[in-house]
Structure 1
Amino acid sequence: MMINLREKILAYGVSTLKNEELLAVIIGNGTRKNRVSDLAQKIICNSNGLNLSLEQLMAFNGIGVAQACKVLAAIELGTRKVQSDTLSETVVSVDDVGRHLINKIGGAPQEKLVAVYLNNSYHIIDEKIIFIGTVDQATVHPRDILREAIRMSATQIVIAHNHPNGSLMFSRNDQEFSLRLKKCCHLIGINLIDHLIITKKTFSSLKSLNLI
């Protein structure tokens, strides 16, 4: 099994492997009673998107401490890779930003407020995680966002934060904060393009709802 998977990677690339095959490569070996392919399939089918603790992994017959640690390390590495990805410096739309942030913060267990900074031509200058925690006027101030905009001479901003509970609804705090930020942006000549709510699978736009 492992030889076949390695040959498949060498011949066609690692991206051609299914999730259970990738997991089988990480686990390495099965047991007399459980082939590594069956073990990997069982873990994939009985986990919520591989959201498993060390103890939960070791509860599967055939997974010891070493294998569980390798699986967790691989998952964490993948998570960090996604979080380190940034938008390209080409022209982007709000939809581009939304899809990018689904991967970056959609699955985060805490709310994260992200600001994406653009120039007049809608080219990305940079993106920053501004705050981790509940977004409201008591915890986040527009200056936290605008300080970075001024530093990098950005003329446009898209802000976004994730809802770990999966809701796409904007709270009253979200709306009030956005309107306050928009006024502050206007005073210094910066355009607040939109405020997005990000979940694991999709996003919603405050502007499209005519709330900003």
Structure 2
Amino acid sequence: MMINLREKIIAYGVSTLKNEELLAVIIGSGTKEFPVSDLAKTIICNSESLNLSLEQLMSFNGIGVAQACKILAAIELGTRKIQSDTLSEKVVSVDDIGRHLINKIGSAPQEKLIAIYLNNSYHIIDERVIFIGTVDQATVHPRDILREAIKISATQIVIAHNHPNGSLMFSKNDQEFTLRLKKCCHLIGINLLDHLIITKKTYSRMKSLNLI
């Protein structure tokens, strides 16, 4: 099994492997009672997006501490890779930003407020995580976003935050904070393009809903 998977990676590339095959490569080997292919399929079928703890992984017959640690390390590495990805320097639209952020924060277990800074030509200058936690006026202030904009001479901003519960609805706090930020942006000559809510599979735009 492992030799065949390695040959497949060498011949066709790792992207051709199915999820259970990728997991089988990470696990390495099974036992006589639980072949590695069966172990991988069982874990995939009984987990949601591989959102598993060490204890949960070790509850599967044939998975010990070593294999569980390998799986968790691989998942964490993939998560960090996604979080480190940034948009290219090409001209981008708000929808480009939305699709990018689905991969970056859509599956995050906590709410994250991100600011995307652009110039007049819609080129990305920078991208920053501003706050982790529920967004409201008591915890986040417009200056936290605008400080960086002034520093890097950004003229346009898109802000976004994820909803781990999957809701695409903007709360009253979301709307109040965004309107406050928009007023502050106007005072210093910066254009607030939009505020996005990001979920695992899609996003919503406050501007499209005529909320700003």
TM-score when scaled to structure 1? 0.99
Matches within 5 A, 1:24-103: 24-103=24-103
Deviations 1:96-119 (A, max 9, x none): 100111111111111110000000
| SS class of match (1:194) | strand
Deviation of 1:74 (Å): 0.2
- 2:202 matched to which residue of 1? 202
| SS class of match (1:193) | strand
Deviation of 1:46 (Å): 0.5
Deviation of 1:35 (Å): 1.2
- 1:145 matched to which residue of 2? 145
- When the two chains are superposed, the root-mean-square deviation of aligned CA atoms in Å is 0.6
Amino acid in the other structure paired with 2:53: S
Amino acid in the other structure paired with 1:13: G
How far apart are the structure 2 equivalents of 1:185 and 1:124?
A: 18
How far apart are the structure 2 equivalents of 1:203 and 1:92?
A: 16
How far apart are the structure 1 equivalents of 2:78 and 2:4?
A: 24
How far apart are the structure 2 equivalents of 1:11 and 1:108?
A: 34
* Unmatched 5+ stretches in structure 1: none
Matches within 5 A, 1:93-172: 93-172=93-172
How far apart are the structure 2 equivalents of 1:147 and 1:18?
A: 45
Deviations 1:70-112 (A, max 9, x none): 0000000000000011111101111110011111111111111
Amino acid in the other structure paired with 2:187: L
| SS class of match (2:153) | coil
How far apart are the structure 2 equivalents of 1:19 and 1:142?
A: 42
| SS class of match (1:122) | coil
- 1:182 matched to which residue of 2? 182
Amino acid in the other structure paired with 1:135: V
Moved over 4 A (4+): none
How far apart are the structure 2 equivalents of 1:37 and 1:188?
A: 59
Amino acid in the other structure paired with 1:7: E
How far apart are the structure 2 equivalents of 1:135 and 1:55?
A: 32
Deviations 1:102-154 (A, max 9, x none): 11111111111000000000000010000111101111110000000000000
How far apart are the structure 2 equivalents of 1:72 and 1:5?
A: 21
Deviations 1:136-185 (A, max 9, x none): 11111100000000000000000000111111000011001101100110
| SS class of match (2:196) | strand
How far apart are the structure 2 equivalents of 1:182 and 1:161?
A: 16
How far apart are the structure 1 equivalents of 2:131 and 2:60?
A: 38
How far apart are the structure 1 equivalents of 2:166 and 2:86?
A: 23
How far apart are the structure 2 equivalents of 1:90 and 1:23?
A: 35
Amino acid in the other structure paired with 1:108: A
| SS class of match (1:113) | strand
Provide the aligned length of Structure 1 versus Structure 2: 212
How far apart are the structure 1 equivalents of 2:147 and 2:71?
A: 40
* Unmatched 5+ stretches in structure 2: none
Amino acid in the other structure paired with 2:100: H
- 1:15 matched to which residue of 2? 15
